[in-house]
């Protein structure tokens, strides 16, 4: 028996680390991965609340979040490939134009 | 007296936070990706502690298996090296970091004050059957819309990653 708030605080810690690495990192792929970390933190919160209120729908939401994250990763990495072909860099400081 | 649940939670939460901090501190993208896989694996075990067996399996198969393999593949394809140190913007330093600390502190303060009660192992257990029934009855329309989304994402990825022919 542990308090539910421990799980929620763990989710908050992971989300904060994800936000911090989103702000600090300069590599565009690592920035994408920190988005995945934030989504995982939210998933933990969903599952903890589903377990607390005895609702299946929380876990269904986690399923949808995973599907959307997979789709986002596929499209995002394709955009990274397209950027790398034209700019030949992965540093976001050097990718400051919308035009490819 | 420490219960088994407490011990397991502390172990896997510690691994989670350590992996996330390692993700933040490593400078090479491959190291960051591998520590993110550690975070996802221990999150799957925390899902099992919360009685979500299907979500735990999908977390391993889809996240650690498919999405992270895609990331590692792209990192190796583009031959991404260590990121160079650059000076961040001043706005990020003076607004972003205090904002993040304030957000995190507020979350922890609110959560530690809340009277949400306890969770225990086996207190609530969702089988794959129950999840499937919920998914294909209550959430049938979102499920179908998700399939359209995945189709659009596949086509977008193929179009974006294709080489331009002159």
List the domain boundaries for chain A.
Answer: 4-94
More confident residue, B23 or B100: B23
Spatial CA neighbour of A85 closest among B33, B155, B81, B74: B74
B9, A6 contact by CB (below 8 A): yes
* Structural fold of domain A4-94: Helix Hairpins (1.10.287)
Spatial CA neighbour of A52 closest among B79, B98, B111, B44: B111
3-state SS string over chain A? CEEHHHHHHHHHHHHHHHHHHHHHCCEHHHHHHHHHHHHHHHHHHHHHHHHHHCCCHHHHHHHHHHHHHHHHHHHHHHHHHHHHHHHCCCEHHHCCCCCC
- Alpha carbon dihedral B133, A48, A22, A27, in 10-degree steps, equals -60
Q: Do A33 and B36 touch (CB under 8 A)?
A: yes
More confident residue, B117 or A16: A16
Tens of pLDDT, residue by residue over A28-54, are 999 999 999 999 999 999 999 999 888
Tens of pLDDT, residue by residue over B21-79, are 999 999 899 999 999 999 999 999 999 999 899 999 999 999 888 999 999 999 999 88
pTM score, whole prediction: 0.91
Q: How far is CA A93 from CA A87, A97, B83, B84, in A?
A: 12, 10, 11, 11
Q: Do A3 and B149 touch (CB under 8 A)?
A: no
- For the cut 80, the answer to whether the pLDDT of residue B84 exceeds it is no
Q: Average of pLDDT values for A91-97? A: 82
Q: Give me the pLDDT at residue B163, please.
A: 76
Q: Average of pLDDT values for B139-164? A: 91
Percent of chain A with pLDDT over 70: 99
**CA triplet B65, B70, B72: central angle to 5 degrees?**
95
Residues of A in contact with B134 (CB under 8 A): 56-57, 60
Which site among B109, B126, B149, B166 would you substitute to test the A interface, given the most A Cβ atoms closer than 10 Å to its Cβ? Answer: B126
Q: Give me the pLDDT at residue A39, please.
A: 95
Query: B7 CB near a chain A CB, below 8 Å?
Result: no
Query: B50 CB near a chain A CB, below 8 Å?
Result: yes
- For the cut 90, the answer to whether the pLDDT of residue B20 exceeds it is yes
Q: How far apart are alpha carbons A21 and B59 in whole angstroms?
A: 22
Residues of A in contact with B142 (CB under 8 A): 64
Q: Give me the pLDDT at residue B96, please.
A: 80
Q: Give the model's confidence band at A98: pLDDT under 50 very low, under 70 low, under 90 confident, else very high.
A: confident
Q: Do B124 and A32 touch (CB under 8 A)?
A: no
Residues of B in contact with A47 (CB under 8 A): 46-47, 50, 52, 55
3-state secondary structure of B166: coil
Tens of pLDDT, residue by residue over B3-13, are 888 999 999 99
Q: Give me the pLDDT at residue A3, please.
A: 86
Furthest-apart CA atoms within chain B: distance in Å: 71
Q: Give me the pLDDT at residue B166, please.
A: 58
Q: Give me the pLDDT at residue A100, please.
A: 63
Q: How far is CA B41 from CA A77, B16, B67, B118, B152, in A?
A: 22, 9, 13, 24, 29
More confident residue, A28 or B164: A28
Q: Give me the pLDDT at residue B113, please.
A: 83
Q: How far apart are alpha carbons A24 and B86 in whole angstroms?
A: 10
Residues of B in contact with A38 (CB under 8 A): none
For the ranges A1-10, A21-30, A59-68, B84-93, the one whose mean pLDDT is highest: A59-68
Q: Do A17 and B24 touch (CB under 8 A)?
A: yes
- Alpha carbon dihedral B26, B29, B34, B36, in 10-degree steps, equals 80
Q: Do A13 and B24 touch (CB under 8 A)?
A: no
3-state secondary structure of B52: strand
- What is the ipTM score, two decimals? 0.91
- Cβ contacts below 8 Å, chain A against chain B, sum to 226
Percent of chain A with pLDDT over 90: 58
DSSP state of B123: S
Q: Give the model's confidence band at B88: pLDDT under 50 very low, under 70 low, under 90 confident, else very high.
A: low
């Amino acid at each position: 028996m542990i308090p539910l708030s421990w799980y929620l605080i763990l989710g908050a810690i992971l989300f904060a680390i994800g936000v911090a690495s989103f702000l600090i990192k300069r590599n565009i792929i690592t920035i994408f991965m920190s988005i995945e970390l934030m989504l995982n933190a939210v998933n933990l919160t969903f599952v903890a609340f589903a377990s607390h209120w005895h609702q299946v729908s929380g876990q269904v939401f986690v399923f949808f979040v995973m599907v959307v994250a997979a789709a986002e990763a596929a499209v995002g990495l394709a955009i990274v490939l397209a950027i790398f072909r034209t700019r030949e860099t992965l540093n976001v400081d050097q990718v400051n134009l919308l035009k490819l | 007296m420490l219960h088994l649940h407490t011990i397991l939670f502390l172990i896997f939460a510690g691994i989670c936070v350590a992996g996330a901090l390692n993700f933040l501190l490593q400078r090479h993208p491959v190291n960051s990706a591998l520590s993110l896989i550690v975070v996802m694996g221990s999150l799957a075990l925390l899902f099992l502690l919360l009685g979500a067996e299907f979500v735990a399996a999908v977390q391993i198969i889809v996240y650690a298996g498919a999405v992270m393999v895609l990331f590692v593949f792209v990192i190796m394809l583009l031959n991404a090296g260590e990121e160079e140190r650059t000076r961040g913007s001043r706005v990020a330093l003076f607004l972003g970091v205090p904002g993040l600390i304030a957000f995190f502190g507020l979350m922890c303060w609110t959560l530690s004050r809340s009277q949400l009660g306890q969770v225990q192992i086996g207190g609530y257990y969702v089988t794959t059957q129950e999840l499937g029934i919920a998914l294909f009855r209550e959430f049938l329309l979102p499920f179908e819309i998700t399939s359209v989304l995945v189709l659009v994402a596949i086509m977008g990825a193929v179009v974006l990653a294709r080489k331009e022919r002159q």
